[in-house]
């Protein structure tokens, strides 16, 4: 049986969501699959750095542009000094998995492990799926040690070639989304909304993600003013302070949730999803056929700015840089929001990731199974 090793990281839940979708698709195709997180596994310092990134993301998103600049100019994932420090770990890491195929879904995981594989002539085919659908994105996505790259859009392909990756090494595939993200039937939708109570003409989901970051309190208050009769669901993730603050309002038309395992049900039951412009949270809503309102109220991370602009350009959603923008979109009402559903169908055909997995054929690149 062919062993597929997927590399991901907890710095951004979207990478883990993509990895989970690909894991399911690969297992269904008969591959033996494992997901590992070498950044977090390689030592306490790297875990601290990953935690620092997540702290910025949740509490100071407006600083992310400076962080992006620092990483792009420093490029720690390409430095010989850092590579020499983790080389022994990489050897042990690969020995523990013995992969035939390696697939990275994270921009910081495309260099050191793949370089080791090439230097040691291990014969492991190295692939990368670029989870950012629109440039600008991290320079780390481009690597001379990766055999083939997969991207979700023509714009991403062009962005990767501008970084020096030959076009013949890049293929387009649909964005992989976990299979539970799909539209509700009419019966499912009615049952779910009846359970929300009180009845309403529309349901708005404010998705704060796993960490509940950003100005969600202000976004909620703006949404409530613009839609006083709508049911609003707020996912606070692990932000317990925000959850308590919202629950204290005791608003009968507001449902406040923490970290939820069945977020797909809440997305599919909504008329509009408010979310930061993360690729996977956006495409998961689109897979359910639900329009999105992408949030950039405190500024945008550079790697999310392309998707933010594409929402308007491709007409699969809305984009808000100010609270006033949110108010204007919400005030249009569910009839105007629903008109975008036909554009969603044109923009994105839902995929479980099977199209990508089918291209990971060992015969396409000469793979010499390592001696165990």
| Joined tokens for residue 81 | 């000094």
| Joined tokens for residue 234 | 């707020």
* 339-368 tens-digit pLDDT: 999 999 999 989 999 999 999 965 543 443
pTM score, whole prediction = 0.89
pLDDT at 58: 63
Q: Are 296 and 277 in contact (CB under 8 A)?
A: yes
Helix (H) or strand (E) holding 26: helix 13-28
Nearest one of 327, 323, 317 to 270, comparing CA atoms: 317
* Burial class of residue 365 (count of CB atoms within 10 Å of its CB; 0-12, 13-18, 19+): middle
Residues 6+ apart with CB under 8 A from 81: none
* Burial class of residue 335 (count of CB atoms within 10 Å of its CB; 0-12, 13-18, 19+): exposed
Helix (H) or strand (E) holding 243: helix 240-247
Q: How far apart are CA 329 and CA 227, in angstroms?
A: 10
Nearest one of 321, 338, 341 to 222, comparing CA atoms: 321
pLDDT at 54: 62
| Joined tokens for residue 124 | 């492991």
Q: Are 112 and 103 in contact (CB under 8 A)?
A: no
Q: Are 351 and 153 in contact (CB under 8 A)?
A: no
| Joined tokens for residue 99 | 């992969």
228: left (phi over 0), alpha (psi -120 to 50) or beta: alpha
Q: Are 311 and 317 in contact (CB under 8 A)?
A: yes
Q: How far apart are CA 239 and CA 79, in angstroms?
A: 36
CA atoms within 13 A on the CB side of 148: 18
One fold for 3-176+352-364 and 186-347: yes
Q: Considering the domain delimited by 186-347, tell me its CATH architecture.
A: 3-Layer(aba) Sandwich (3.40)
Q: How far apart are CA 317 and CA 273, in angstroms?
A: 9
Residues of the chain under the 50 pLDDT cut: 364-372
Q: Where do the domains of the chain lie?
A: 3-176+352-364, 186-347
| Joined tokens for residue 192 | 């779910």
> For the chain, what's the residue count?
372
CATH code 3.40.50.2000 for 3-176+352-364: yes
């Amino acid at each position: 049986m062919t062993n597929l090793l997927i590399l991901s990281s907890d710095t951004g839940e979207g990478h883990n969501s993509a990895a989970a979708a690909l894991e399911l698709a690969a297992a269904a195709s008969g591959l033996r699959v494992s997901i590992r997180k070498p950044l977090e596994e390689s030592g306490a310092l790297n875990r601290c750095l990953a935690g620092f990134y997540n702290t910025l993301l949740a509490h100071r998103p407006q600083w992310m542009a400076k962080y992006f600049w620092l990483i792009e100019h420093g490029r720690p994932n390409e430095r010989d000094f850092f590579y020499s420090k983790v080389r022994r770990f990489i050897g042990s890491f690969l020995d523990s998995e013995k992969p035939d195929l390696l697939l990275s879904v994270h921009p910081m995981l495309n260099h050191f492990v793949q370089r080791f594989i090439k230097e040691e002539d291990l014969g492991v085919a190295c692939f990368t799926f670029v989870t950012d659908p629109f440039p600008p994105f991290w320079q780390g996505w481009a690597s001379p040690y990766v055999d083939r790259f997969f991207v979700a859009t023509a714009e991403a392909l062009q962005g990767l070639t501008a970084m020096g990756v030959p076009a013949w090494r890049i293929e387009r595939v649909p964005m992989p989304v976990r299979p539970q993200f799909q539209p509700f039937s009419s019966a499912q939708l009615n049952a779910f909304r009846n359970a929300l109570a009180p009845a309403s003409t529309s349901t708005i989901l404010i998705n704060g993600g796993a960490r509940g970051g950003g100005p969600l309190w202000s976004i909620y208050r703006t949404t409530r003013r613009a839609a006083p009769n709508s049911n609003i669901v707020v996912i606070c993730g692990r932000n317990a302070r925000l959850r308590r603050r919202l629950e204290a309002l005791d608003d009968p038309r507001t449902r406040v949730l923490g970290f939820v395992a069945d977020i797909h049900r809440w997305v599919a039951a909504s008329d509009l999803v408010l979310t930061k412009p993360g690729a996977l949270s956006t495409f998961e809503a689109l897979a359910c056929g639900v329009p999105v309102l992408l949030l950039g109220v405190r500024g945008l991370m550079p790697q999310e700015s392309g998707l933010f602009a594409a929402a308007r350009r491709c007409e699969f959603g809305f984009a808000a840089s100010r609270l006033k923008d949110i108010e204007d979109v919400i005030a249009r009402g569910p009839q105007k929001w629903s008109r975008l559903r036909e554009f969603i169908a044109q923009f994105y055909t839902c995929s479980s990731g099977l199209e990508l997995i089918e291209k990971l054929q060992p015969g396409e690149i000469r793979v010499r199974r390592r001696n165990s």
